[in-house]
């Protein structure tokens, strides 16, 4: 899901948002609408499936 926000034209906050991946979608005389698209999912960084976690789980003796 994309994140959108409005920043006042001339605001220093715009630089902060740009550093964090927001881009200008449209602007008028007062406001700038910015958007940040979600990052692509990287399979290596995703948590293992529930079945894989169970498989690797070894309870402590006596539990």
pLDDT at residue number 25: 97
In a domain, 15, yes or no: yes
Task: Annotate 4-62 with DSSP letters as a single string.
Answer: EEEEETT-THHHHHHHTT-EEEEE-SSEEEEEEPPPPP-GGGSPPPHHHHHHH--PPTT
For the whole model, what pTM was predicted? 0.62
> Does residue 2 form part of some domain?
yes
When pLDDT is cut at 50, 70 and 90, the band that residue 39 belongs to is: confident
Structural domains in the chain (count):
1
| pLDDT value for 22 | 97
Its domain, for residue 20, covers: 1-38
Any idea which of 5-9, 11-15, 49-53 has the lowest mean pLDDT? 49-53
Average pLDDT of span 9-35: 97
The reply to whether 30 falls in a domain is: yes
């Amino acid at each position: 899901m994309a994140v959108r926000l409005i920043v006042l034209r001339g605001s220093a906050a715009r630089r902060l948002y740009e550093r964090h991946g927001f881009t200008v979608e449209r602007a008028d005389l007062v406001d700038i609408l910015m958007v940040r698209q979600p990052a692509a999912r990287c399979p290596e960084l995703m948590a293992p499936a529930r079945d894989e976690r169970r498989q690797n789980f070894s309870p402590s003796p006596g539990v």
